[in-house]
Amino acid sequence: MIKKFSRVRTGGRIISLVYTYQISINHEKLVREELVKRYSYSSRLIREIKRIGKISLNQRECFLGQQIKPGDVIEIKMPCEDIDGEPVSGNLNVVYEDEELLVINKPPFCVTHPTKTHQLDTLANYISYYWGERGVSAKIRFINRLDRDTTGIVAIAKNKYVHHYVQKETNSGKVIKVYHAFVHGKLPHQEGIINAPIGQPYENSIHRVVMEDGKPSVTRYKVLEEFKDASLVELVLETGRTHQIRVHMKHLGNPIIGDPLYHGECMQTGSFEMPHQALHAHRLLLSLPSKKNLYVQAEYSKNLTELHKHLRENKEKKVME
């Protein structure tokens, strides 16, 4: 069990975290085995901590092959890290933050990390500035990424252990990502599962398509609300392919409103004046090393709120007619 969880500060800056574990009755034999099997440390991370951090047993530096017994205390001091992004002042909508995690509600038209065409106007730049102003010293490790025009939850780990821990939880299906999408038309069923492999039609293609030899891709959906010519759908990802929701909704015959890549023939009926795809990362449920079942939710952006209002008003007009 985690006995305590503390921060190490230098000159007002949070430079490291310390995880302390008290050995229970049902323990492994060695320090290394306890950390790997019970607390989800990777062997690579343990070696790195041993090299530039610190691993202690009962307040004394120890060997990884040292035996442990009930009542012993293992202390892990995470390696000190510097912020690795170029700091640029920008607006950040912080949904949640603690010593291990930062969660942002990303606006549309914002790139997650620097690219050739976006060097100083990305989330990474804004987070670097934000952490620098608050004395946080950590590398920026994105747990999830969103397309430039997709809005909603982006989570960032504050140390390598947290990032590895959450990725392992994701691979075992314990991390739940819930999206909301406004799509063209009405779906054939109120809820269902889209199990359709996704791949690239040709090398270096930006587009993704459903194809027989694509990678397995599964999306669960549920209709939350129906309008005159559109629907609000809740979607849960069981796999994480590029453009998965956008491709699957087009495959179903209900492309996302305002989507410039996967709109199909629906753009002929109008984009409802949406300047970007109406896709939003709405909720996230995950666990962290220091806490279980952390739930975060991000409100709709202004554009999505206005679209929702417009669709409802048109629906009411139809009923009155």
Catalytic residue numbers read: 147
* Helices and strands in the chain: count of H runs, count of E runs: 7, 17
Alpha carbon distance 175, 241 (integer Å) = 15
Of 258, 267, 262, the C-alpha closest to 248 is 262
Alpha carbon distance 48, 187 (integer Å) = 50
CB–CB of 139/266 below 8 Å?
Answer: no
What tokens were used for 319?
């009923």
CB–CB of 98/46 below 8 Å?
Answer: no
CB–CB of 251/188 below 8 Å?
Answer: no
Q: What is the 3-state secondary structure (H, E, C) of 116-162?
A: CCCCCCEHHHHHHHHHHHCCECCCCEECCCCCCCCEEEEEEECCHHH
Q: How far is CA 74 from CA 36, 44, 77, 216, 291, in A?
A: 13, 18, 10, 41, 18
Helix, strand, or coil here: 46? helix
Task: Locate all alpha helices (DSSP H) within the chain, ordered by sequence.
Answer: 31-33, 39, 43-52, 123-133, 160-171, 244-252, 302-320
Q: How many residues does the chain have?
A: 321
CA triplet 243, 247, 248: central angle to 5 degrees? 120
